[in-house]
């Protein structure tokens, strides 16, 4: 059976990493995956390395905005991409389309209008409170071919809103939590010593880290400003900012982060490491992983911190509440509250036993609830349920089985 996967951007962030996880565990004897995405960025090459056929599509320019000029430009981009995607669907004739974002779902549902192909909208984000979100919900309800795969109850609830709650049978929503590679992300004391040595840090240093692409929604700026209080109380503390700018004037935001670092604690105390391939080792080297997001559907960074056994301090937002239990496997603070954030960092850095307790419980929770095996099984069940519903246009469900190997 052929599934056409569509990703609206060629950059690799959390949603794309989930897509790559799905693709890497697909049984090619039963499943023929084809991936359409822009040729700009790293994604198309990473998919090709999996031995999966790729097709280039124009980059979709579309953001939530109140600016009329930009809105018209984004609508024009949608129109061009939809036209090209429709030709692609007609040529490829997939049994199912898996659109790897809400924007991708809009494109593929419009592009497949009248073709009877079921479309999965993979909701990796919290739908913003915006008039366009209402239009998106109406569009999702417009066709019985659409189904929503959400990464968290929080993402599902926001997408559902008041409208889709009345059309739950027409637009079914399934929640499947993301997963983490428990072998790649695991505690390792030798790796911890090595990465600290490579960074010029010792066991005496209290090391805080934040991981993710650089954007205001991730809260790096507020963390750097709060770190000023930490550096006064703990002279050997260091803050590692791990990640690069990908979207939305990210270079300007990076400049603002560097300015804040120089003013609050000094550039020797706040280190910008950029994008790294050794994130598991870096997480092991931390005393405290901070996830300071303003909103978060279901952050892979939280899962990776849990699996690594690193103590996590996170904002109590959205899908994070489905992973972190305050005082048990992590520590929660309100979003956008620098004083409480600073107080929590001082508390946790000053209590090694508490950090070890949180980290140990986090590792156990990752093993119990967020393994790739669990993820593969649930994805398998979701695909099978879609096929058995009878909506697949080309073959009956009894003749097909979607199989994901959990190896």
On whether both 113 and 246 belong to a single domain, the answer is no
On whether both 305 and 385 belong to a single domain, the answer is no
On whether both 161 and 234 belong to a single domain, the answer is no
pLDDT of residue 185: 98
Using CA of residue 390, residue 166, residue 161, residue 321, what is the dihedral sign? negative
The 3-state DSSP class for residue 358 equals helix
pLDDT of residue 193: 97
Alpha helices in 265-317 (DSSP H): 279-284, 300-308
**Residue numbers of the domain that contains 83:** 2-179+371-399
On whether both 200 and 116 belong to a single domain, the answer is no
On whether both 234 and 315 belong to a single domain, the answer is yes
Alpha helices in 199-293 (DSSP H): 220-233, 250-264, 279-284
Based on the structure, what is the number of domains in the chain?
2
On whether both 361 and 379 belong to a single domain, the answer is no
On whether both 306 and 349 belong to a single domain, the answer is yes
CATH code of the domain covering residue 205? 3.40.50.2000
On whether both 238 and 138 belong to a single domain, the answer is no
On whether both 353 and 227 belong to a single domain, the answer is yes
Q: Which two tokens stand for residue 117?
A: 């192909």
CA atoms within 13 A on the CB side of 366: 30
Alpha helices in 95-205 (DSSP H): 102-111, 131-141, 153-160, 189-198
pLDDT band (50, 70, 90) for residue 164 = low
On whether both 284 and 167 belong to a single domain, the answer is no
Residue 184 forms part of a structural domain: no
Residue 227 forms part of a structural domain: yes
pLDDT of residue 30: 78
Which neighbouring-strand residues pair with 5?
35, 98
On whether both 121 and 198 belong to a single domain, the answer is no
Q: For the whole model, what pTM was predicted?
A: 0.89
On whether both 330 and 380 belong to a single domain, the answer is no
> How far is 351 from 347, CA to CA, in rounded Å?
6
CB distance 147 to 118 below 8 Å: yes
Which neighbouring-strand residues pair with 271?
240
Q: Could you report the per-residue pLDDT of 166-222, keeping only the tens digit for each?
A: 666 677 899 999 999 999 999 999 999 999 999 999 999 999 999 999 999 999 999
Taking alpha carbons only, the member of 98, 151, 110, 93 closest to residue 296 is: 151
């Amino acid at each position: 059976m052929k599934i056409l996967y569509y990703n609206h951007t060629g950059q690799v962030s959390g949603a794309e990493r989930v897509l790559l996880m799905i693709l890497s565990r697909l049984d090619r004897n039963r499943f023929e995956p084809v991936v359409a995405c822009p040729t700009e960025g790293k994604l198309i090459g990473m998919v090709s390395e999996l031995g999966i056929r790729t097709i280039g599509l124009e980059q979709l320019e579309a953001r939530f905005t109140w600016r009329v000029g930009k809105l018209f430009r984004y609508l024009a981009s949608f129109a061009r991409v939809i036209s090209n995607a429709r030709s692609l669907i007609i040529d490829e004739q997939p049994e199912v389309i898996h659109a790897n974002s809400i924007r991708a779902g809009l494109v593929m549902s419009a592009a497949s209008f009248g073709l009877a192909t079921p479309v999965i909208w993979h909701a990796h984000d919290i739908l913003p409170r915006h008039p366009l979100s209402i239009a998106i919900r109406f569009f999702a309800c417009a066709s019985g071919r659409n189904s929503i795969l959400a990464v968290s109850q929080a993402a599902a609830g926001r997408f559902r809103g008041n409208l889709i709650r009345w059309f739950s049978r027409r637009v079914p929503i399934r929640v499947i939590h993301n997963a983490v590679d428990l072998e790649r992300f695991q505690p390792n004391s030798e790796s911890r010593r090595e990465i600290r040595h490579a960074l010029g840090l010792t066991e005496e240093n209290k090391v805080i880290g934040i991981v993710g692409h650089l954007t205001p929604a991730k809260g790096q700026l507020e963390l750097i400003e709060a770190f000023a209080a930490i550096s006064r109380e703990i002279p050997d503390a260091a803050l590692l900012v791990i990640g690069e700018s990908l979207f939305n004037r990210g270079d300007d935001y990076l400049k603002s982060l560097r300015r804040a670092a120089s003013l609050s604690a000094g550039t020797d105390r706040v280190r910008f490491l950029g994008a790294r391939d050794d994130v598991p080792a870096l997480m092991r080297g931390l005393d405290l992983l901070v996830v300071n997001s303003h909103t978060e559907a279901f952050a892979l960074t939280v899962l990776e911190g849990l699996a690594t056994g690193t103590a996590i301090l996170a904002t109590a937002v959205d899908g994070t509440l489905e992973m972190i239990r305050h005082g048990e496997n992590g520590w929660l603070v309100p979003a956008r509250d620098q004083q409480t954030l600073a107080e929590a960092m001082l508390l946790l850095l000053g209590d090694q036993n508490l950090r070890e307790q949180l980290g140990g419980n986090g590792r156990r929770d990752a093993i119990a609830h967020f393994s790739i095996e669990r993820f593969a099984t649930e994805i398998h069940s979701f695909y099978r349920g879609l096929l058995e519903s009878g909506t697949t246009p080309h073959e009956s469900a009894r003749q097909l089985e979607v199989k994901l190997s959990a190896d």
